[in-house]
């Protein structure tokens, strides 16, 4: 009986997927996960400044976004994400 249920679940996805629209850049969370905390702003730029992140205005380098951030020391990952999101915005990311 359990084998029949597993077969049915594998046949149909739980959610129908639409056509895939590419989004340039990478999520901020991915960049933040590659770093250990705490970090100085200059060290973040040194390590990940060239990374292109997704923003509501289109893809931007992390260094360009951090130029608008007044904080010079991020004690936690959340403080980093909050500061970058405040500078870049948190509206939906546009697709092509």
Band the pLDDT of 3: cuts 50, 70, 90: low
Predicted confidence (pLDDT) per residue in 22-62, tens digit? 778 899 999 999 999 999 999 999 999 999 999 998 899 99
> How many Å apart are CA 10 and CA 7, to the nearest integer?
5
What pLDDT is attached to residue 16? 65
pLDDT digits (tens, 9 = 90+) for 56-74: 988 999 999 999 999 999 9
The three-state DSSP-derived secondary structure of 49-80 is CCCEECCCCCCEEHHHHHCCCCCCEECCHHHH
Report the C-alpha gap between 70 and 57 in whole angstroms: 20
Lookup: tokens for 43:
């060290």
Model-wide pTM > 0.85: no
User: Rounded CA gap, 54 and 35, in Å?
Assistant: 18
């Amino acid at each position: 009986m359990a084998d029949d249920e597993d077969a049915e679940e594998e046949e149909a996805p739980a959610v129908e997927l639409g056509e895939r629209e590419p989004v340039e850049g990478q999520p901020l969370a991915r960049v933040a996960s590659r770093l250990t905390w705490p970090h100085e702003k200059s060290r973040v730029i040194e390590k990940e400044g060239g990374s292109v992140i997704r923003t509501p205005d289109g893809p931007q380098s992390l260094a360009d976004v951090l130029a608008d951030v007044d904080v010079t020391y991020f004690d936690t990952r959340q403080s980093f994400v909050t500061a970058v999101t405040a500078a870049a915005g948190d509206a939906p990311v546009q697709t092509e």
